[in-house]
C-alpha cells in the first residue's frame, strides 16, 4: 500500500511518538508542566492562574486508554497503555467552568487561518436542511460563524513540504497543518498527525515508499490514518481525532490489503490506495467535557427533546396526561422500534469490501467485558 510519510529522523520520531515518558506528578500544581520526550522536544505550557493541567482528572489511579492489540506480521498499534490523559481544568468561578475539561494544545496557532485556503460557511446545511429546505438531520442549527478549510486529502504534490504551523479546525475534531512546498512555495492544508510540529518536513509518496526510507523505520508498516479506498481517490477512513488503522495482511496477487479499523471491522482496500503513516492528532479530544449547555449551542448542536414531552402530532410517544406514552414500546419519531435489537439493515446487501464486520449488540458488550 502506498503511503504518505514523514522524512527525517526527528519528524518520524515525532510521528510515531513511542518513547515519550509519563508526565511528572508536579503537573497537579497550579503551574502547568509537560513531560519532555527524549525523541521529541515539546515546549512547556504557559502558566495560567485560573487553569490547571491535571493528569486523568487528578485521580490517584489514572485510567488508561484501551487499545486493541493482536498478532500481525506488520507493525502493531501504538502502545498507549501508560499514556497519561492530561486535561486542562479551571477554577469554578462560574457554574459553567466547574466541569469544563479541555485538551492541552498549547502548540496550536493563535492567529487566523490562511484565508486563501478558506471559504465562508454560509448556507451549507447549517440548519440540517437539504436543497428543498426540509430538515434531514435533527439537532443542527445556530452556532458560531465558521470558515471551511480546504484540506488536501489527495496529496498528489510530491517533494518535501515544510510545516508552517499547526492550526485548530472548527469543522473537525483533528488538527490541521499548514505546509509549504519547498520546490514551488505553494501552501496547502493537510491533516496533522500526532506529534507533528512546526518546522517538520513531510513528503508524499503516492507511487510507493522508497526502500531506504522504509529501512529507517525498521522495515515495518506503522499504523496508518487517512486511508483511501481507490488508487486515485482521496482519504476516506480514519480522519477523526486519535483514529488509526493497522495493516494486518496483503494479497498482492489480487491487489488487496487487509486493514483492521478501530471499530473491530476488517476491510479490504486496494493495495495502491493512499494512506498516511501515524495516528491522527488530538487523541485526547474524546476526554473533553463541554461544561455547560451553551457551549453545545456554540458548536451548532441544538437540544434533544424527548418524545413523551411532545404533542401527539409530533411523536408517537406524545400527548396524553402526565408522562404517559400510551403503553407503546419505544419507537423513533417515524415509528421504527428503537430497542430490543430491532434490525434495520437489508438482508442480502452485504458490503463486498468487508471481510469481518464490526461487533454489534451482544458481541460488542462481551468485547467490552
- For the segment 15-57, what is each residue's pLDDT rounded down to a tens digit? 444 333 333 333 333 333 333 343 433 444 444 567 777 776 5
Please report the pLDDT score of residue 326 as a whole number: 81
* Segments making up each domain of the chain, as ranges: 3-287
Q: How far apart are CA 286 and CA 243, in angstroms?
A: 11
Residues listed for the chain: 369
**Model confidence pLDDT, tens digit, residues 146-159:** 999 999 999 999 99
Q: Identify the architecture of domain 3-287 in CATH.
A: Beta Barrel (2.40)
Distance CA 213, CA 329 (A): 59
- DSSP helix/strand/coil, 206: coil
What per-residue confidence (pLDDT) applies to 14?
42
Low-confidence residues in the chain, pLDDT < 50: 3, 5-47, 58-60, 62-71, 73, 82
The predicted structure's pLDDT at residue 361 = 77
- Tell me what pLDDT residue 164 has: 97
pLDDT for 83: 57
Query: Where in the chain does DSSP place strands (E)?
Result: 3-6, 51-55, 86-90, 101-103, 118-120, 147-149, 160-167, 176-181, 187-191, 201-205, 224-225, 227-228, 235-237, 246-251, 256-260, 266-270, 276-277, 354-356
Q: What is the reported pLDDT for 52?
A: 78
pTM of the model: 0.77
Amino acid at each position: 500500500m502506498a503511503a504518505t510519510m514523514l522524512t527525517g529522523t526527528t519528524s518520524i520520531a515525532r510521528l510515531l511518538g513511542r518513547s515519550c515518558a509519563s508526565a511528572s506528578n508536579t503537573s497537579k500544581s497550579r503551574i502547568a508542566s509537560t513531560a519532555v520526550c527524549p525523541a521529541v522536544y515539546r515546549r512547556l505550557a504557559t502558566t495560567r492562574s485560573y487553569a490547571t493541567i491535571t493528569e486523568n482528572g487528578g485521580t490517584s489511579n489514572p485510567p488508561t486508554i484501551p487499545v486493541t492489540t493482536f498478532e500481525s506480521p506488520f507493525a502493531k498499534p501504538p502502545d498507549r497503555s501508560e499514556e497519561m490523559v492530561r486535561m486542562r481544568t479551571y477554577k469554578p468561578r462560574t457554574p459553567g467552568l466547574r466541569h469544563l475539561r479541555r485538551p492541552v494544545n498549547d502548540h496550536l496557532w493563535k492567529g487566523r487561518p490562511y484565508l486563501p485556503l478558506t471559504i465562508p460557511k454560509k448556507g451549507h446545511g447549517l440548519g440540517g436542511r437539504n436543497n428543498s429546505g426540509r430538515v434531514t438531520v435533527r439537532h443542527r442549527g445556530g452556532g458560531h460563524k465558521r470558515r471551511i478549510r480546504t484540506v488536501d486529502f489527495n496529496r498528489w504534490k510530491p517533494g518535501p513540504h515544510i510545516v508552517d504551523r499547526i492550526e485548530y479546525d472548527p469543522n473537525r475534531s483533528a488538527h490541521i497543518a499548514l505546509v509549504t512546498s519547498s520546490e514551488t512555495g505553494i501552501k496547502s492544508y493537510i491533516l496533522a498527525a500526532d506529534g507533528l510540529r512546526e518546522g517538520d518536513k513531510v513528503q508524499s509518496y503516492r507511487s510507493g515508499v522508497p526502500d531506504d526510507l522504509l529501512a529507517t523505520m525498521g522495515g515495518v508498516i506503522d499504523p496508518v490514518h487517512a486511508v483511501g479506498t481507490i488508487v486515485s481517490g482521496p482519504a476516506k477512513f480514519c480522519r477523526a481525532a486519535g483514529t488509526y488503522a493497522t495493516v494486518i495482511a496483503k494479497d498482492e496477487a489480487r491487489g488487496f490489503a487487509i486493514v483492521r479499523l478501530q471499530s473491530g471491522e476488517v476491510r479490504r482496500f486496494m493495495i495502491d490506495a493512499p494512506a498516511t503513516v501515524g495516528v491522527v492528532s488530538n487523541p485526547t479530544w474524546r476526554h473533553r467535557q463541554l461544561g455547560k449547555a451553551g457551549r453545545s449551542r456554540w458548536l451548532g448542536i441544538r437540544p434533544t427533546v424527548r418524545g413523551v414531552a411532545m404533542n401527539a402530532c409530533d411523536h408517537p410517544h406524545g400527548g396524553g396526561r402526565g408522562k404517559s406514552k400510551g403503553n407503546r414500546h419505544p419507537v423513533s419519531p417515524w415509528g421504527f422500534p428503537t430497542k430490543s435489537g430491532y434490525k434495520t439493515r437489508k438482508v442480502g446487501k452485504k458490503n463486498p469490501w468487508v471481510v469481518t464486520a464490526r461487533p454489534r449488540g451482544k458481541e460488542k458488550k462481551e468485547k467490552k467485558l
